Amino acid sequence: MPNAIVFRRLAAILASAAVIGLACNTQPPPPIPSGALLGLKPVADGLTSPVKLVPVPDGSGRLFVVDQIGLIRVIDGNGSLRDQPFLDLRDRMATLSATYDERGLLGLAFHPNYESNGKFYVFYSAPPSGLTPPTFNCENRVSQFFVSSDVNRGDATTEKILLRIQKPQFNHNGGDIAFGPDDFLYIGTGDGGAANDVGIGHATQIGNAQDKTSLLGKILRIDVNNGDPYGIPADNPFATSNSARREIWAWGFRNPYRFSFDLGPEHRFFVGDVGQNLFEEVDIVEKGGNYGWNVREGHACFDPNQPNSPPAACDNVGADGSGLTGPILDYPHDDPAGGPAGISVIGGNVYRGAGIPDLAGRYVFGDLARSGTTSGSLFVATKQLDNSWGFVEVGIAGNQGNTLNAYLFGTGQDSNGEIYLLTSSNIGPSGTTGRVWKITAP
């Protein structure tokens, strides 16, 4: 069957499945067939290193693109990229390496009441401050700003720093932020960098991700509407603890670089946690979960002293004795059989749009690049009847070799549930090859 018509054939399968599902109300959609294709529609170009796309909740239809170099750009309601940035933080950021860097402007979230209060929030990497230990690399900040009188310009003078997180190494920053359906702000933080979650600035023996006195290697949850500079939601797992950081919502992460809340009724919280040498993973995160790093990498056991040789067996508990929650799926860095593989998972979104009915309710995510290539990968995951998740790699119609032909740095979703990809031909934050694409039918 020619790949270009796989999704057309799938539509017929899905129609039949829908009839069966109405009868018994238990049938999941059929899996996406291997070799299926999706299309890409160009939306914006001339960016450097776009890592996040966020719709503004004001009914304007504008999309805001986070460029790692310190700029937030606006795609207006007509689909045109405005020349003037919404926000420019380059003068207060850490100096980035043009060849490769994981620091920078990494996250953006608009307050749920943005239309009336004009508040928005960013996550970025700043130079070491007076609070930073002398051996550490940088300070990651979560800051609040206000929009100016011009709706296409944020007011950089209104910065209020909510969180300062001292980072020992340049890598593993996490950096995604988003408001949940509960209107609290969720923040992803990496384990501090280097490798194995060991070394300078890492908790001895257990690592930062398992250390509940550290903000590193966590998903945090704060209340930006109360407290100074923020409040702790009363139902946070350690909201009244004197032995754990009260901001923690979940822990045991290596580098939760991209995450999203499902726009559907379940409000599932999907996190792509970047692995180390062998496996990448996707988690559905819930309150108080311990997601395993550095006891496990994906489903496999992990030994910091032998990172390339997973132990045959290991305890299924963390440093504090809490049970570990496994990922919904993982995949290797190399698959000789040609199956899904990659080197850095890029967390995505559950498709809730109308343009590609075959994707409805499926999780669309990807990977920075397959080992030894400069092309990212796109995956589609489907929940099965037994609650497990299966996934396949999908190709890009019209591209040479049906590949993405660029590094994948992030995804985004507009207010209508359509999904976008953010790519660049350069692995480092340099040049102007950064582009925004909208996923379409082939």
pLDDT attached to residue 28: 67
Domain span at residue 393 reads 35-440
143 is a domain residue:
yes
Q: Is 61 helix (H, G, I), strand (E, B) or coil?
A: coil
pLDDT tens digits, residue range 119-154?
Answer: 999 999 999 999 999 999 999 999 999 999 999 999
Neighbours of 249 (CB within 10 A): 24
Q: Phi and psi dihedrals of 19, rounded to 5? A: -65, -45
139 is a domain residue:
yes
Looking up residue 403, the CATH number of its domain turns out to be: 2.120.10.30
Going from the C-alpha of 429 to that of each of 102, 106, 123, the distances in angstroms are 9, 12, 17
pLDDT attached to residue 34: 75
Q: Check: CB of residue 140 under 8 Å from CB of residue 165.
A: yes
Q: What does DSSP assign to residue 254? A: S
Residue linked to tokens 């040789």: 309
105 is a domain residue:
yes
Please state, in angstroms and rounded to a whole number, the distance separating the CA atoms of residues 270 and 154: 29
pLDDT attached to residue 27: 65
Please state, in angstroms and rounded to a whole number, the distance separating the CA atoms of residues 124 and 133: 18
Exposure pattern of 71-109 as b/e (b: 16+ CB <10 Å)?
bbbbbeeeeebeeebbbbbeeebbebeeeebbbbbbbbb
Please state, in angstroms and rounded to a whole number, the distance separating the CA atoms of residues 293 and 276: 10
Please state, in angstroms and rounded to a whole number, the distance separating the CA atoms of residues 224 and 232: 9
13 is a domain residue:
no
Please state, in angstroms and rounded to a whole number, the distance separating the CA atoms of residues 281 and 18: 30
22 is a domain residue:
no
- All residue ranges of the chain with pLDDT < 50 are 1-25
Retrieve residue 419's tokens. 């999904």
Q: How many residues does the chain have?
A: 442
292 is a domain residue:
yes
Cα torsion 78, 60, 263, 227: sign: positive
376 is a domain residue:
yes
399 is a domain residue:
yes
Please state, in angstroms and rounded to a whole number, the distance separating the CA atoms of residues 421 and 438: 6
* Total domains, the chain: 1
- pTM confidence score: 0.94
H or E segment and range at residue 434: strand 434-440
pLDDT attached to residue 25: 45
* CA neighbor of 196 nearest in space, from 273, 309, 303: 303
